[in-house]
């Protein structure tokens, strides 16, 4: 009984910032590897540019081939040619596994067609989860420290509260303040509500008087 040959797609990437890199070096190595394993190459994908993003045209094309089930195995020379981070690598490999597509990194000796290669995938996933946990822990510690020293978290308030208070004290209605400052009517409400909590008693009395008179 003959085993069906795996359809391969090779992926190479060179940085445009490094004039000494040549995609042909990676391409030749990948061709030799696939030939030695009798894997017919369906596509040879090459990207030029930084590996710090997953928005590379070649990578997008490769993922389209994988999702269309047009290939059985993805072959790269090194992990850093393919993935921008450990998290990106694990996410991509999880998708490959779900679609039944294998992955080989020749230089790193990671081969998901073997049991040891699949074990390596589990180890990578564990490291990625550990990395995520560390990031979450650092973030929470940073937020707790900021609160402990009295820092206000979240986006800063950009309402012109002082200007709103001044115009209101001069007798302007909410609509007039809104038009004068070019802000939302709801911003006027929120600003006056916030200011009233710390403002003088005379201002609060005057505000209640305006409400009774309908000066809105």
**Active-site residues: which are they?**
15
CB-based burial of residue 13 (10 Å sphere; 0-12 exposed, 13-18 middle, 19+ buried)?
buried
Q: Report the distance separating Cα 119 and Cα 140, nearest Å.
A: 32
Report yes or no: 47 and 56 within 8 Å, Cβ to Cβ. yes
Report yes or no: 7 and 70 within 8 Å, Cβ to Cβ. yes
Alpha-helix runs per DSSP H in the chain: 23-36, 57-67, 79-82, 86-99, 115-148, 161-169, 174-181, 185-196, 201-213
């Amino acid at each position: 009984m003959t085993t069906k040959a795996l359809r391969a797609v090779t992926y190479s990437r060179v940085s445009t910032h490094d004039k000494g890199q040549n995609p042909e070096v990676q391409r030749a190595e990948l061709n030799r590897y696939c030939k030695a394993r009798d894997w017919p190459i369906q596509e040879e994908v090459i990207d030029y540019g930084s590996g710090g993003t997953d928005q590379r045209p070649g990578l997008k094309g490769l993922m389209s081939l994988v999702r269309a089930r047009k290939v059985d195995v993805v072959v790269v020379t090194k992990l850093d040619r393919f993935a921008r981070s450990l998290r990106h690598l694990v996410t991509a490999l999880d998708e490959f596994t779900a679609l039944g597509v294998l992955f080989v990194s020749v230089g790193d000796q990671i081969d998901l067609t073997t049991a040891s290669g699949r074990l390596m995938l589990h180890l990578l996933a564990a490291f990625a989860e550990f990395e995520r946990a560390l990031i979450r822990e650092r973030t929470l510690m940073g937020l707790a420290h900021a609160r402990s020293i009295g820092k206000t978290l979240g986006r800063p308030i950009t309402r012109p509260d002082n200007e709103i208070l001044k115009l209101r004290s001069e007798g302007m209605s909410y609509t007039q303040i809104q038009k004068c400052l070019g802000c939302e009517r709801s911003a006027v409400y929120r600003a006056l509500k916030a200011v009233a909590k710390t403002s003088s008693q005379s201002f609060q009395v005057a505000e209640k008087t305006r409400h009774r008179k309908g000066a809105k």
